[in-house]
A = this chain, B = another copy of it.
Amino acid sequence: MFEAARAYADPSDDAFGGADEGVVVSIGRRDGPAVERLRAHGLRPTRQRLDLVGVLFSQGDRHVSAEQVYSEALAAGAKVSLATVYNTLKQFTEAGLLVELAAAGAKSFFDTRVDSHHHFYVEDEGVMMDVSADDVGIDRLPTPPEGMEIVGCEVTIRLRRKR
């Protein structure tokens, strides 16, 4: 009933859940789509960037924090430092490979989906789930202020567990 909604790991906890069994992450490959993806965005295909591309984009759409990416990368056998993960996530975001999520709290999250879509946000759990753009209908938006243009538009639907 909710194919459009996918949970992601609880941001308040330590990142974990790295390297699901059965998911083959293309760590170590010196060619292929990951290389082209990086080149297409003006980034040199270094080993750690390729590893992080593998972690980020081999499992469908994801909402991740730097810590999560770091431990998944380590779990997948990548050699990378936490600082590089932070720097790389920022570079990927600037390059358009990722989008930074607007989230409550003092931690940054990144979305591997860069097309326009929306989110359920479970307030008490800090959990976010994707909502396909097709499931939300917006029929009216305000005109932007002078000199500005609309780049995108996201809906956050806040949820609470029924009680």
Taking beta carbons and an 8 Å cutoff, which residues of A are in contact with B?
Answer: 1-2, 4-5, 100-108, 120-123, 129, 131, 135-162
Contact = CB atoms under 8 A, between A and B. Distances in A.
Q: How many copies does the complex hold?
A: 2
Which label, helix, strand, loop or mixed, suits the secondary structure of the A interface? strand
Contacts of A139: 137-139
A138 to B, nearest CB: 6
A92 to B, nearest CB: 14
Contact of A136 (B141, B145, B151): B141
A153 B156 contact: yes
A142 B136 contact: yes
Contacts of A121: 102
